[in-house]
Amino acid sequence: MRTSLIKIPRSRPSAAKLKEAVSALEKGGVVIFPTDTVYGMAANAFNAAARKKIYALKGRHFTKPLILMVPNIAAASLVAEVPHKAIKIAKKFWPGPLTLIFPTSTHGKMVMGGRKDVGVRIPDDSVAGMLLKLCPFPLATTSANPSGKESAVDAKTAEKYFGGKLDLIIDSGACRHARESTVIDMVHFPYVVIREGCLPSKKLLKYI
């Protein structure tokens, strides 16, 4: 298949250009887009067939969950049961390189195939942020690399991995952090840092 490549600078994110990505996602396609951490691979979270495409492209086992990216905390609350304590940490570190795992809401379970927990993130990236606001659904995401390969921190690497295999790649240059997000499991107390990423866990301790 032909993979479209569109360049959108972070200094001038273009809603007009991003509509091509939104259209591809609405039709069940898979899109690669920039974030503050690494390039992500995304599909409409409400579309089970589209989510399966991500697993097939990445060579990822279906038991490994995808992360939902949303434009704001209110959108996170639609798919997850966000504990009161999490609101404080979310307001402090979102948008940013932090993924929080919550119990899945009733609606979220329908979206995520019955999973009891779901990772949620709001990226601190102007292009990703505009894309999320334009999409009428959350994005089911994972890093844009085949399983076992290094994460793509620029569009050139992402295109090398997946060019000709998916619908569209958004090129906004190199990612700021060039490292995955930190992940905190907030399903049960005490909360646990399960992945140390570009946000140091010591900055989070007083909030969890």
pLDDT digits (tens, 9 = 90+) for 59-71: 999 899 999 999 9
- Determine the pLDDT at residue 15: 97
SS3 (DSSP) at 60: coil
Residue 170: what pLDDT?
A: 99
CATH code for residues 4-207 = 3.90.870.10
Radius of gyration of the chain (CA): 16
pLDDT of residue 5: 98
Q: How far apart are alpha carbons 196 and 201 in whole angstroms?
A: 7
Per-residue pLDDT tens digits for 102-113: 999 988 887 777
Determine the Cα–Cα distance for residues 80 and 61; give it in Å rounded to an integer: 23
> Structural domain boundaries of the chain?
4-207
pLDDT at 114 exceeding the cut of 80: no
